[in-house]
Amino acid sequence: MNSSGKKLSFAARAHSLPRRREFYLALAWTAPFYLALILSLIALVLFLMTPEKMQAFLLVGLTAAALALWAGSFFSRRQARCPLCRATPYFDNGAMAHEKSFRLYPLNCAHTNVLRTMVIQSFRCQYCGTPFDLLKENRPPKDDPDAASANS
Ligand SMILES: [Zn+2]
């Protein structure tokens, strides 16, 4: 709620991220992991329909690629931390989720956040409920005298 009593939009309430590098790195590992996962499921269906040597090689290769990408995704998602509560919005740690957290069934909150970031560049931390926008610029605090003198 602002002073006029109107509820601000998600974009207006979203916080900027002081350290975005870990979030971009997690997305760079997780997007190809999703792709490899979908392709290996397609390869599995192809193999079950026509069990030939070529389909078997395709299935094994894509599954190996998906596993390697999953490992990179796993460790990079654990590094991306919420600046407010220090939890991992891209990795579910088993703690109770905030009442405002959101998940697309059957995915968990972490993968929902990754997909949301890929589509609308913003997500909500499922532990403290704070919305974040990856594209929002960081601004110095208004009452910071150093920042004020640097601007004048
Ligand atoms: Zn948080």
Residue 148 lies in a domain: no
CA atoms in the 13 A half-sphere facing the CB of 115: 12
Q: How confident is the model at residue 64 (pLDDT cuts 50, 70, 90)?
A: very high
> How far does residue 72's CA lie from ligand 1's centre (Å)?
23
Nearest to 80 by CA among 132, 119, 34, 40: 132
Per-residue pLDDT, 142: 65
What percent of the chain stands above pLDDT 70?
A: 88
Residue 21 lies in a domain: yes
CB 74 within 8 A of CB 66: no
Residue 151 lies in a domain: no
> How far does residue 88's CA lie from ligand 1's centre (Å)?
7
Query: 100-111 pLDDT, tens per residue?
Result: 888 888 889 999
- Which residues, 6+ apart, have CB-to-CB distance to 102 below 8 Å? 109, 112, 124, 126
Residue 27 lies in a domain: yes
Neighbours of 1 (CB within 10 A): 7
Q: How confident is the model at residue 140 (pLDDT cuts 50, 70, 90)?
A: low
Nearest to 104 by CA among 76, 123, 127, 85: 123
Q: How confident is the model at residue 47 (pLDDT cuts 50, 70, 90)?
A: very high
**Mean pLDDT value of segment 129-144:** 79
Indicate the number of domains in the chain: 1
**Mean pLDDT value of segment 65-74:** 95
Q: Encoding tokens for residue 78?
A: 């654990």
> How far does residue 144's CA lie from ligand 1's centre (Å)?
24
Q: Could you give the 3-state DSSP secondary structure of residue 66?
A: helix
What kind and span of H or E run contains 69?
Answer: helix 53-79
Per-residue pLDDT, 144: 55
Cα 21 to chain centroid distance, Å, stands at 12
Cα 107 to chain centroid distance, Å, stands at 12
> How far does residue 65's CA lie from ligand 1's centre (Å)?
31
Range(s) of the domain holding residue 40: 14-136
> How far does residue 104's CA lie from ligand 1's centre (Å)?
19
DSSP 15: B
Residue 144 lies in a domain: no
**Mean pLDDT value of segment 41-65:** 93
Per-residue pLDDT, 148: 46
